[in-house]
Amino acid sequence: MKQPLSPSHSPKKTHSPGIRLCLILGIILMSVGVGLYALLYMGLDREFYYNEKSFGKEVYREIFSLNHSHREAEPILQLGEEAFAFRGTEKEAEERFGLLSRYSLTEEGQATQTHTLDYINSHIEGDRGYVWVAYIQQIYDGEGKLLRGSGAEKARILSRWTVEKQKDTWVVTEIREAP
């Protein structure tokens, strides 16, 4: 009578070199992806960690989620860029940009401004969602003297824009920033 082979004596399964190579490449690509994700979001957390208390932990952690919808956010970001670049009366700015008018040049004596507006993350489902942005804005008088500024190169202002589509147009319905 034949004795069954013990697990240590069972024949070894071998994989072809092509399968091994694919497995190794898959592991390497996953590791690189995880590493890039960690670097990107560790950098965000290092820059914005002090905002967690103002926004609350759950809301603040939205900036690290993987549910990006950058394409859907493009019209909202474009509207933001237009609001930053706008120069006119407060009434005109409010009619055109709604809550985003707060970034427009509407006060007497404001001659120029510089700004950056950077997309961080967004989540849009159907006709509602939010967009996280970071910005820097400096406003100058006619002589080039700085009147006021928000943010700096290493300390951008983090802002969460709640958005809603109304009559085929995106509208920012709430703006949240740390005080």
List, as one string, the DSSP characters of 123-177: EEETTEEEEEEEEEEEEE-TTS-EEEEE-BTTBPEEEEEEEEEETTEEEEEEEEE
For residues 66-87, average pLDDT: 88
pLDDT per position as a tens digit, 103-118:
998 888 778 899 999 9
| Average pLDDT over the chain, rounded to an integer | 82
On the question of pLDDT at 2 being above 70, the answer is no
CB 65 within 8 A of CB 121: yes
- Cα separation, 174 vs 98, in Å, equals 10
Domain ranges of the chain: 60-177
3-state secondary structure of 117: strand
pLDDT of residue 39: 43
The pTM score is 0.73
- Cα separation, 30 vs 40, in Å, equals 15
pLDDT of residue 142: 86
For residues 147-168, average pLDDT: 92
**Which carries the bigger pLDDT value, residue 110 or residue 125?**
125
For the chain, report the end-to-end CA distance as a whole number of angstroms.
83
On the question of pLDDT at 41 being above 90, the answer is no
**Which carries the bigger pLDDT value, residue 140 or residue 43?**
140
Multiple choice CATH, 60-177, 2.60.120, 1.10.3470, 3.30.70, 3.10.450: 3.10.450
